[in-house]
Amino acid sequence: MTVDFDRVALADVSRHFGRRRAVSKVSLAISAGDILGLLGPNGAGKSTLIGMIATLVVPSTGTIRYGDRGAADVGPALRGRIGLLAHELHLYPELTARQNLEFFARLHGADPRGCVDGALAAAGLTERGADQVSGFSRGMRQRLALERALLHAPRLVLLDEPFAGLDDRAVTIVSHRLRALAATGAIVVLATHDLDLADGLVTRVAVIRDGRLITDERGGSGLRARYRTLVGH
């Protein structure tokens, strides 16, 4: 089954964990070419929201539609159009960088011969492809995990703190990668605490506080000052 969409729309989406309301009545639409920065303090609900968009967490109320269909209508094939980079990088440390990418390529039904070399190059790890991931720095693992999430050319790319552990060179590599993805029509959503890195990268900003969406606006300069006004720190 072929699945494609150019828009993801959330309507009054909430998620409760017992008596705790992690996300409350969030409505948001994201389109192809968007790089949406999901901002907010720790515990605001950003990771839960990404989990719901990724179909890993079921909303307690509300709907999420991918194009004109919900996740239940599409079925498992929907996950084949989603790339996710979470806090857990999902890499096998005893395998080499190349072996990790080959494994995940096959898992997604992609031909490793057609994508692994390009993924290593995009991560800046061509010369380290034969090395075990256990010897990699956090930043190297982060870059490799990003390419792992992109091997199957997903339409929707969800990133939770993608700049964690990256040095300036790696930040530049990842930022260029995300801009290129959006330019090809991907929908990119990234949760980050780093306002300076988000500033100039994101095309839209959604700020979450206490599980609620308090603003959805176009990206632009002066993000830190705007965020401080909205959140208070």
pLDDT band at 233 (very low <50, low <70, confident <90, very high): low
Query: pTM score, two decimals?
Result: 0.92
- Structure letter (DSSP) for residue 81: G
CB 186 within 8 A of CB 22: no
pLDDT (0 to 100) of residue 1: 61
Domain extent listing, the chain? 32-45+78-231
Q: Which three-class secondary structure state does DSSP give residue 179?
A: helix
**Predicted pLDDT at 141:** 94
pLDDT greater at residue 220 or residue 88: 88
Alpha helices in 54-137 (DSSP H): 71-74, 97-107, 112-122
Helix (H) or strand (E) holding 223: helix 223-231
- Judge whether residue 77 has pLDDT over 70: yes
The tens digit of pLDDT for each residue in 112-170 reads 998 999 999 999 999 999 999 999 998 899 999 999 999 999 999 999 999 887 888 88
Is the pLDDT higher at 8 or at 225?
Answer: 8
Q: Reply yes or no on whether the pLDDT at 221 is more than 80.
A: no
HSE (side-chain half, CA atoms, 13 Å) at 210: 4
Mean pLDDT of 56-80: 93
Q: Specify the CATH architecture of the domain 32-45+78-231.
A: 3-Layer(aba) Sandwich (3.40)
Mean pLDDT of 44-67: 96
Mean pLDDT for all residues in the chain: 92
Q: What is the mean pLDDT of residues 177-197?
A: 92
**pLDDT computed for residue 198 by the predictor:** 85
pLDDT exceeding 70 applies to what percent of the chain?
98
